[in-house]
């Protein structure tokens, strides 16, 4: 692994919110693990209304993989009813150092 990103592979930033049984099931920890495995940066946090939200940044293809994971997989005990994505935009550089779980 490692090495430079492929030339011409643009970076994107996208916000997400996942609904369903996603709190108290290690959803944030698994999301962080998956994001790190894919080499993405951003953050994830629980909301006061029972959803999980955050932001993903990285190469478009990798971001798509995490979006698919957030839609269909999640953590082992989670039950995802909906994953919504918004504010997608091309970015020139990553705005986060790593992928963090926010309290």
> What is the DSSP annotation of 36-88?
HHHT-EEEEEE-TTS-EEEEEEEEHHHHHHHHHHHHHT-STT-EEEEEEEEEE
Q: pLDDT (tens digit, 9 = 90+) per residue, 37-86?
A: 999 999 999 999 999 999 999 999 999 999 999 999 999 999 999 999 99
Please state the rounded mean pLDDT for residues 83-91. 97
Delineate the domains of the chain, giving CATH numbers in brackets.
Answer: 11-101 (3.30.70.100)
Is 28 assigned a catalytic role?
A: yes
pLDDT > 80? residue 8 = no
Tokens of residue 49, six digits? 């209304």
Q: From 19, 20, 22, 16, select the one nearest 75 (Cα to Cα).
A: 22
Residue of 28, 37, 62, 71 with catalytic role: 28
Q: From 48, 53, 59, select the one nearest 19 (Cα to Cα).
A: 53
Is 82 assigned a catalytic role?
A: no
Residue of 46, 62, 64, 79 with catalytic role: 46
**Integer Cα distance of 60 and 63 in angstroms:** 5
């Amino acid at each position: 692994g490692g090495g430079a990103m492929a030339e011409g592979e643009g970076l994107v930033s996208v916000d997400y919110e996942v609904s369903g049984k996603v709190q108290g099931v290690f959803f944030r920890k698994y999301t962080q693990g998956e994001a790190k495995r894919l080499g993405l940066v951003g953050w994830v946090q629980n909301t006061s209304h029972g959803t999980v939200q955050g932001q993903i940044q990285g190469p478009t293809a990798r971001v798509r993989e995490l979006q698919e994971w957030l839609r269909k997989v999640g953590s082992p005990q989670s039950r995802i009813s909906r994953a919504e994505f918004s504010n997608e935009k091309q970015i020139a550089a990553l705005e986060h150092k790593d992928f963090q779980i926010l309290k």
